[in-house]
A and B are shown apart, each in its own frame.
Chain A
């Protein structure tokens, strides 16, 4: 069975070559250097790291409709194959992927992924934070993803994404994603995600949308003392988002409602919470962009699930200024005020980011 599947893939690869299609490829490098420090610190733990150097490499190979796409992030703290997807371009506007992908329900994933240069602010909202930085929602799945963008309602564009894949495992250190380079046999369950958004044009950033996800997370190490704790988490996520991009303004807002159930046999500890964030960006001339972000939550303090993540920012405000001082290079200064479940801290960050291609 496995051989026949492999043959199909090989045939798919060979078909364009047989027609004389050249191998097309793309390489893109995002780099960033970030310096940060905290002040007015009353929180015992933070995710603020003094300095971070990152290089995010994206590569893409295409033979006809078959596409191989990957993203490898290396930093002075880690190195990981973030995305590795084998895709088939079904039509102009639809592609199906197999592999490790970023969950599509996050607007931040859809717009920026790990490309720091494309992201106006230095940090992501806490609800969309990556798993290894204390994020509470699974961001990396390994499975199947279908993405589509087609015109509807005359000139509007409907973008949809549906995914199903192995969800991260939850242990006391946080969410542990499946690592393609160092695969493990840990118990993982499947998560499902869907997103749909409507945009006034093919190339515009403006749009509104909704998302839904049902991720089942296997929990390990939470049964202490024995007979207590939980074995699985059923995380259901519903959300709406909207982006308005005019000449100088860009406004992005997302609201998530999450229902997290910590399960053990027949017992279920259910808790829900709402998390939202609004980010406003204003361009001054062509080079300067000021931005403000407000993040807030409701029910986070009483959620059994969020209590598993002590460093989660239940409330945060950031302000910053980005200067695109050269072609594909920017300097960003950001000040943040963050309230976690256990404390409060403020931080400042200075980042240089660039894109090379």
Chain B
């Protein structure tokens, strides 16, 4: 708990450095067991590979509530083009029944999912979550 608080404090300090600019952050529900995820893990998660935390698989949700998030998702999270991403998802589902991230098309649905699923992981604009106590920022993925 103490470590989580320190990390949150650190993130707040970091995000202050990007105040006034746009930033996309990785978020989980406030009561999530997830403290931090490395870029490789984030990438695996959003490519549909199973990522377990304390024996429980995380549930990635792709935030498509804003068209500007799509290129950031492709460039910063999965690090590939849309067609390569589609093919990777196809291969995963075909090979082992991996689950592709559920796509959420409105900010309300993104937040509702975060509120209801303790294992949810998604990404959002920092401005949308920085004062939301039910959502916890675990990593800044990109800032301009």
Q: Which residue of B lies closest to A113 (CB)?
A: B94
Most A-side CB within 10 Å, residue of B44, B55, B94: B94
B1 to chain A, nearest CB (A): 20
1/0 per residue A81-107: CB within 8 Å of B?
000010101011001000000000000
Assess whether A91 is in contact with B52, with CB atoms less than 8 Å apart: yes
Binds A, one of B6-14, B20-28, B63-71, B96-104: B96-104
Assess whether B49 is in contact with A92, with CB atoms less than 8 Å apart: yes
Assess whether A62 is in contact with B94, with CB atoms less than 8 Å apart: no
Q: Does A19 contact B (CB under 8 A)?
A: yes
Q: Does A307 contact B (CB under 8 A)?
A: no
- Which residues of chain B are within 8 angstroms of A115 by Cβ–Cβ distance? 90, 94
- Which residues of chain B are within 8 angstroms of A59 by Cβ–Cβ distance? 97
**Alpha-carbon distance A319/B59, docked complex (angstroms):** 43
**Alpha-carbon distance A22/B57, docked complex (angstroms):** 11
**Alpha-carbon distance A24/B86, docked complex (angstroms):** 19
Main secondary structure of the interface of B (DSSP, over half): mixed
Interface positions of A from 59 to 78, Cβ below 8 Å from B: 59-60, 62, 64-65, 67, 69
B97 to chain A, nearest CB (A): 3
Q: Which residue of A lies closest to B51 (CB)?
A: A92
Q: Does A327 contact B (CB under 8 A)?
A: yes
Assess whether B52 is in contact with A92, with CB atoms less than 8 Å apart: yes
Q: Does B122 contact A (CB under 8 A)?
A: no
Assess whether B99 is in contact with A62, with CB atoms less than 8 Å apart: yes
Q: How large is the interface on A (under 10, 10 to 19, 20 to 34, 35 or more residues)?
A: 35 or more
Q: Which residue of B lies closest to A56 (CB)?
A: B94
**Alpha-carbon distance A147/B99, docked complex (angstroms):** 17
- Which residues of chain A are within 8 angstroms of B90 by Cβ–Cβ distance? 28, 115, 117-118, 328, 355, 357
Assess whether A69 is in contact with B57, with CB atoms less than 8 Å apart: no
Q: Which residue of A lies closest to B80 (CB)?
A: A203
Interface positions of B from 96 to 141, Cβ below 8 Å from A: 96-100, 102, 116-119
Assess whether A92 is in contact with B50, with CB atoms less than 8 Å apart: yes
**Alpha-carbon distance A59/B57, docked complex (angstroms):** 18
Interface positions of B from 40 to 60, Cβ below 8 Å from A: 40, 44, 47, 49-52, 55-57, 59
Assess whether A110 is in contact with B95, with CB atoms less than 8 Å apart: yes
Most A-side CB within 10 Å, residue of B47, B52, B88, B100: B52
Assess whether A357 is in contact with B83, with CB atoms less than 8 Å apart: no
**Alpha-carbon distance A111/B98, docked complex (angstroms):** 14
Within the complex, which residue of A65, A112, A203 is in contact with B57, where a contact is CB–CB below 8 Å? A65
Where the two chains meet, the residues of A that have a C-beta atom closer than 8 Å to any C-beta of B are: 16, 19-22, 24-26, 28, 30, 58-60, 62, 64-65, 67, 69, 85, 87, 89, 91-92, 95, 110-113, 115, 117-118, 147, 202-203, 286, 327-328, 355, 357
Where the two chains meet, the residues of B that have a C-beta atom closer than 8 Å to any C-beta of A are: 40, 44, 47, 49-52, 55-57, 59, 83, 86-91, 93-100, 102, 116-119
Q: List 26 A-B contacts (CB under 8 A).
A: A19-B118, A20-B116, A20-B118, A21-B59, A22-B116, A26-B97, A26-B100, A58-B93, A58-B94, A60-B93, A62-B57, A62-B99, A65-B52, A65-B57, A69-B96, A91-B52, A92-B49, A92-B52, A95-B50, A95-B96, A118-B90, A118-B91, A147-B96, A202-B44, A327-B86, A357-B93
